[in-house]
Amino acid sequence: MTAPIRENLSGVDLRAEIDRLRKERNAVILAHYYQKPEIQDLADFVGDSLELSRKAAETDADVIAFCGVKFMAETAKILSPEKIVVLPDLDAGCSLEDSCPPEQFKRFREQHPDHIALTYINCSAAVKALSDIIVTSSSAETIISQIPEDQKIIFGPDRHLGGYMNRKFGRDMLLWPGVCIVHEAFSETELLKLKAQHPHAPVAAHPECPPYIVDHADYVGSTSGILQFAKSFEGDTLIVATEPHIIHQMEKALPEKNFIGAPGADGNCNCNICPYMALNTMEKLYLALRDLEPRIELDEELRLAAKKSLDRMLEMASGTVGKGDVGDRAAAPSA
């Protein structure tokens, strides 16, 4: 098999060309908080995945360039079927999505017919179509609180978010065994060392983190929630236990404060950079806008089935989108 020929873009002013193509294509550029700073800085919107898709749907853009991962771009296509949606690198996937193949999830559901499926948005469109309600880390608490305690629930694919909700609500949801490789990489030992060095610094953690990280957090929330906490906490130093590129937005908003990425097992946070998010580059964004490839295409029947579970989430918890708050750690009992 012949390797693909790479274009030499060394003489191209990528920022200027991206701006030109953005106007020419009537495109909106979305960047997740986990993207590289140079991509965040040129995006029209920076935020969490569903929040970005909803904002793009409200625009009159003909093209959505989603600098994130594939399930996020699929969500944008679900909400904006009439728009062209491009993803700079089609290999930008997600370990949570990979952990939950649709055919396996379908069989699992069939084995538990008395359960409804609450499914984290970090999954494929096909798994969304097999689900009853999609949840985000910002909406999970609101949605679970509305479901009768005697209703059995499958929660997937993130067992850490599901486990956190089980502990918080005293539920016994059946958890799919998926994890986020980024949040799984944090080290409790190294975090405790860092806390000892900064005894007055609170810890803000994403609920995709394992319990041994969440249990040391002063605040638990999604990327948007952590960013809001960074703007409101008292003190000058915050330890951040999520993908470290969120710190770029914190430093822009609060240059007077100090933000420290929680360390991995090697004592630094390099291992916690999402390898999938890192596949998107300025060069690939330029090419995606120029060529309108690679595109996200969804079968209409699949799109409508997936949209049904997303719509159900918005009916139950629309006010949570973009808030990212799943509550203070103090409110949740220990594992």
The predicted model scores a pTM of 0.90
pLDDT digits (tens, 9 = 90+) for 212-265: 999 999 999 999 999 999 999 999 999 999 999 999 999 999 999 999 999 987
Residue 1 has pLDDT above 50, yes or no: no
Contacts of 287 (CB under 8 A, 6+ apart): 7, 88, 293
CA distance 188 to 194: 10
pLDDT at 334 over 70: no
Residue 92 in contact with residue 70, Cβ under 8 Å? yes
Per-residue pLDDT reduced to its tens digit, 54-97: 999 999 999 999 999 999 999 999 999 999 999 999 999 999 99
What sign does the dihedral 19-7-63-253 (CA atoms) show? negative
Res 231: pLDDT: 94
C-alpha angle 204/206/211, rounded to 5°? 95
3-class DSSP string for 103-129: HHHHHHHHHCCCEEEEEECCCCHHHHH
